[in-house]
Structure formats: structure tokens, C-alpha cells
Amino acid sequence: MTDAPVLRATGLTKSFPLRRSALGRVVDRVRAVDGVDLTVTAGRTLGIVGESGSGKTTVSRLVSRLLTVDAGTVEVDGVDVTAARGRALKALRASLQMIFQDPYGALDPTKTVGHAVAEPLLVHGRIGRRELTDRAADLLSRVTLDPGLVHRYPEELSGGQRQRVCIARALALEPRILVADEPTSALDLSTRSEILNLLLRLQKENGQAIVLVSHDFATVRHLSHRIVVMYLGRVVEEGPAALVAGEPLHPYTEALLSAVPVADPDEQRGRKRIVLHGDPPDPARPPSGCRFRTRCPVAMDECARIDPPLVPVGGERSVACLRHPGPAPVEPAAAAAIRVAR
């Protein structure tokens, strides 16, 4: 296993139009992702956790080139693919595959399971039509599905079976990177554990890098080596999974963890609770300074003025909070300068 990153994203920024004038000009936009950096190494899982409006889903679409960045770069194996088109883009597709949240909508209802699974090979010219059924059967058995399902249609399958089909489809091209957007949130409890086990096993067998995007801290904690916590389009904390989930530094991470109830009555009722008050702010009009300050239980006056940058604090961790200024304390003026430079 090498430490060279297979996927590196820097300064990812993306905004979406909210409103257009009668002439089609964008008059209001929301910055869904604002200067996000990510690095994933082979065989490792990077978990991105955040609530709705955090921009985590947009990040997954940006690194997989399903959306185009406004600013920033995406590198796969050291090659800049931010503006890849045509053949280069198709090559990128072969090395980076996606697993979607909704296994019900992710499969074309008019195509058989076999077609769904082997289609990537067909599109990339790796097999002919005649080999489709055999290859599909192989792929299905890799995700422990009955190869006899090749001639079935998605609607005949359960949610868990469909998600396995989606995973088999994503594996067909033997990608180096899997981006999984909420792969288990549409599934029932017992099915969810099957899918998580499958992802763990496949990663051990094939050494894929996985980017796991989820709102569920427990799922992210279970699969990830490193965790990125997002809030309103920014990364607020990043670091090794055990540390981020065990000793969170950012008040938002702390609140998020505290909000996830533990499935143990004694432990859960003995925990310190941090209940946030108020709704998250409108992402189109984020508050000044730190974006979390309006809901932060430990906000200070400076938080309204200074937008804290994500700074390393040692132990391979980074935090964007004025209460954790890192080894070299950031002067308010310096922080302001950093903010202006963005």
C-alpha cells in the first residue's frame, strides 16, 4: 500500500443558481461548496460526514466529474482531470466509479440486471455483446448475488439486492476509486450491515480507495480511516477516524456526535448532550465570520468577525475553529488576510 494519493482535490468551489431574472441572468446563487481540499490514498476510506446543506453530495459529484467545478482542481493518480474531456474523461470514468444513494432509481427499469452490471464493460469496449451474460454472472457472484439473476429486471429485486447490483456495476471496470454517496441510507437495518460488510471485504480484496459520503456518523465511523466533517460548504474538521469521532475538536463535530444516539440505553442516557438550537442558516446567506457561530454553544465575539481557516493542529488533524488555533496561533489580522485571499 502506497501513501501516494490516488485522489486529490484542492480548493473545490461550486455554486448553484437560486433565482434567475426574466432574461435568464442568475440573480441569486448559493455557494454549495467553498474551498474544500481532500486527499485519499489507495486502500483507504475517506468518510465525508455532514447534514443537509453541508455540500457533501456536491463534493462527491465534483470529484467524480458529474459536476464541473467553478474553481479548484481534481487530480487522479497525479493527473489533473479537472477539465478532462472526451477520451481523457472516459479514462477517468474507468478509474473512478460511483455508488448512488437510491438503489431504486439508480438502475434503468427497462434493462436487465445483467445489462446493468456489464454495461460499463460494453461502453468501454472491453467486451462484446456475446460475452455480456457470462461477465455479468461473474460480477454478480463477486457481490454474492445469485448469477441466475442476470435475466431479471431491477423491479424484481429487493433494495439490498439492487444495491449489490449497483456495486457490481461500479466494480466492473476495476476502478481505483469508489465514491459512495449514502450507499446504505435507503436500506433497512439488516440489509445495511450486509452492504457495509461487502464494501469492507471488497476494499480488502482489491485495495480500492473509497470516498464515503454520509449523514450517518456511525456508518462513516465504521468504514473510514479518515473523516472529513463538513458544515455549510466548508470542511470544519479533518483527521483520523478514531480521533475525530472519539475526541472531536470542532464544536460542530462535537454537537453532531452528541446528536447521534448510541444504541445502548445506559451509555446513551449517561452521555453529555449538546442540543443545538435554531435551524442551520440559509446556505445562500451564510453568517459572517465562522459559519457555525449562529448555532455554536461556545461562540465568542471574534467568531462573527473572523472566518477561521482550516489549520493543522498536530496528530494529522486539522480544525477550523478559533478555539483551536493550532501550533502557530493565527493572529486575527492574519486570519482576516487569509479570508480575503480566498
Partner 1 sequence: MTAAPLATGTAPDTAGALLSVRGLTLDLVGGTPQPGLVQGVEFTVPKGRSVALIGESGCGKTLTAMAILGLLPRAVRVVSGEIVFAGTDLLTCGPRELRRIRGGPVGAVFQEPMSSLNPTMTVGDQIAEARRIHFREGRRTAREHARELLDRVGIPDARRRLDSYPHEMSGGMQQRVMIAAAIAGEPRLVVADEPTTALDVTIQAEILELLRDLRRDLGLAVLLVTHDLGVVADFCDEVVVMYAGHVVERAPVRDAFRTPAHPYTSALLGSVPRSDHARTPLQVIGGRVPPAGSFPGGCRFQPRCRHTAPACAEPQPDTVVGSGHHTRCGRVAAGGLQPGREL
Partner 2 sequence: MSAPTTTIPAARRRPLGAVLRRPSSAVAFAFLVLLVGSAIAAPVIAPHDPDAQELGNRFAGVSLTHLAGADEFGRDVLSRLLYAARIAVTAPLISVGVAVLIGLPTGLWAGRRRGIVDAVSGRLADTLLSLPALASALAIVAVLGPGLTNAMVAVGIIFSPTVFRVVRGATLSVAEETFVESATAIGCSTRRTLWVHILPNIAAPLLVQVTILMGVALLAEASLSFIGLGVQPPEASWGSMLGAAYRNQYDAPYAVVPPGIALVLTVLTFNTLGDALRDVLAGRRAS
Q: How far is the CB of 252 from partner 1 (least distance, A)?
A: 9
Binding of partner 1 at residue 189 (CB under 8 A)? yes
C-alpha 231/C-alpha 105 separation (Å) is 27
Q: How far is the CB of 222 from partner 1 (least distance, A)?
A: 4
Give 29 or 152: the residue with its C-beta nearer to partner 2.
152
Residue that the C-alpha cell 482531470 belongs to? 81
C-alpha 241/C-alpha 238 separation (Å) is 9
Grid coordinates given for 316: 494529522
Percentages helix, strand, coil for the chain (3-state, rounded to 5) are: 35, 25, 40
Binding of partner 2 at residue 183 (CB under 8 A)? no
290's contact among partner 2, partner 1, none, with CB below 5 to 8 A by partner kind, is none
276's contact among partner 1, partner 2, none, with CB below 5 to 8 A by partner kind, is partner 1
Give 166 or 220: the residue with its C-beta nearer to partner 2.
166
Build a one-symbol-per-residue string for 261-290: x at contacts with partner 1 by CB under 8 A, - elsewhere.
Answer: xxxxxxxxxxxxx-xxxxxx----------
C-alpha 318/C-alpha 324 separation (Å) is 9
Residues 87-146 that bind partner 2 (CB under 8 A): 89-90, 93-94, 97-98, 100-102, 105-111, 119-120, 123-124, 144-146
# residues near partner 2 by CB under 8 A: 39
C-alpha 200/C-alpha 91 separation (Å) is 26
Give 77 or 302: the residue with its C-beta nearer to partner 2.
77
Binding of partner 1 at residue 217 (CB under 8 A)? yes
> Is the four-CA dihedral 202, 207, 208, 210 of positive or negative sign?
positive
Residue type, 119: E
Angle at the Cα of 214 (from 278 to 30), degrees rounded to 5?
Answer: 55
Angle at the Cα of 325 (from 323 to 327), degrees rounded to 5?
Answer: 140
Q: What is the binding site for partner 2 (CB under 8 A)? A: 24, 64, 66, 89-90, 93-94, 97-98, 100-102, 105-111, 119-120, 123-124, 144-146, 148-149, 152-153, 155-158, 161, 166, 169, 172-173
